[in-house]
Amino acid sequence: MKRNVRVAAVSAGLLALGVSAAVALTAMQQARLRQRLLAGLESPDREVRRQAAWTAAELRQTAIAPRLIEQLAGREPDEGVREAYVYALGRMGDPAYFDALTTVIRDDPSGYVRCAAWLAAARADPQRTRARLAVAPPPTDPWDRIGQAQARVATGDVSGFEELLYRAEHGEAPRREVAARALYKWLRPLLDAAGRWPLDANAREGEIWPEALTAELRQRCAELPLAQIAADTLQHAPRSEQFRRNVWRLTRARERLAAVLFADAGANGNGVGHE
């Protein structure tokens, strides 16, 4: 029993030390990380450029943002990579990027990228995005309509759900998938909060949804004070998502630490017992 307590105490101490060391190591290597990301953005491999943008977004490497904006201004030929750059700017969440994102909305030849830019703009500066949506004429391109609908929902306007439900039912597969993903991200939590998400829903994130499901969701939305539910629910969504990410990262850190602490004992068949 004493051995178990001692091992648990040592494990807890090493976990705390490991987390602190990781934070310190990250701080010491910031400059090196930035250089690697900048080099990744210059790679001839499109997948390397995309991964560099996603990493910059996840780690909030705002020092990379000027290069992303520069690439979006005309140097990056691949629409999938431009979408990753737009996503990264949105995830960084700085209002200073709003003008660059609205330039993408206005000028990019790819509807897919413009759609992503609407959502990124909403994340970067919700207030200015709402103002822009208020005066924007209804677009004709389905991608732009999906983008505007996502921006509306992301800034608290539930009127965007009707467009997303329609686009999840109609059109080409990529647009239906994007619309369904947006509904999964924003509509499902609202209906869950009201106890109205269908328990038998055959819906997964990133898949095309059956038309019967979108029809049922539309009916359930019509029966609920969705705006009120959104006002009570969506304000907590960013913190909930960050909490989920932090728990996942801590769990991974604990798993790696446990592997280091107990790998030898497990290999020798002498693991610590339970009493």
Encode 232-266 in three state secondary structure: HHHHHHHHHHHHHHHHHHHHHHHHHHHHHHHHHHH
Residues 55 and 120 in one domain: yes
| The token pair that represents 116 in the structure block | 């992503």
- Cα–Cα dist 76/92, whole Å: 20
Residue 270 in any domain: the answer is no
pLDDT of amino acid 256: 47
Per-residue pLDDT of the chain (275 residues; tens, 9 = 90+): 444 433 333 333 333 333 333 344 356 677 888 889 999 999 999 999 999 999 999 888 899 999 999 999 988 999 999 999 999 999 999 999 999 999 999 999 999 999 999 999 999 999 999 999 999 999 999 999 999 999 999 999 999 999 999 999 999 999 999 999 999 999 999 999 899 999 887 777 778 999 999 999 999 999 999 999 988 876 665 555 555 555 555 555 455 445 544 544 444 443 333 33
Residues 52 and 126 in one domain: yes
pLDDT of amino acid 25: 37
Query: Which residues form the domain of 95?
Result: 37-138
Which of 152, 149, 153, 170 shows the shortest CA–CA distance to 215?
A: 170
Residues 134 and 42 in one domain: yes
Residues 56 and 117 in one domain: yes
Residue 106 in any domain: the answer is yes
Residues 73 and 116 in one domain: yes
Which of 161, 167, 77, 62 shows the shortest CA–CA distance to 113?
A: 77
Residue 56 in any domain: the answer is yes
**Total of domains in the chain:** 2
Q: What is the CATH number of the domain that holds 99?
A: 1.25.10.10
List helix spans (H) across the chain.
Answer: 2-28, 30-41, 46-58, 65-70, 79-92, 98-107, 111-124, 126-135, 142-154, 160-169, 173-182, 188-193, 211-222, 226-233, 237-268
Residues 133 and 164 in one domain: no
Show which of 106, 138, 170 is a domain's final residue: 138
Residues 49 and 134 in one domain: yes
Residue 212 in any domain: the answer is yes
Residue 46 in any domain: the answer is yes
pLDDT of amino acid 162: 97
Show which of 105, 138, 171 is a domain's final residue: 138
Residues 48 and 130 in one domain: yes
Residues 119 and 45 in one domain: yes
Residues 185 and 215 in one domain: yes
Residues 45 and 133 in one domain: yes
pLDDT of amino acid 28: 66
pLDDT of amino acid 246: 57
pLDDT of amino acid 15: 38
Residues 117 and 78 in one domain: yes
Which of 39, 43, 42, 99 shows the shortest CA–CA distance to 73?
A: 99
Residue 57 in any domain: the answer is yes
Q: What is the pLDDT of residues 168-215, one digit of tens each?
A: 999 999 999 999 999 999 999 999 989 999 988 777 777 899 999 999
Residue 191 in any domain: the answer is yes
Which of 170, 175, 172, 178 shows the shortest CA–CA distance to 214?
A: 170
Residue 144 in any domain: the answer is no
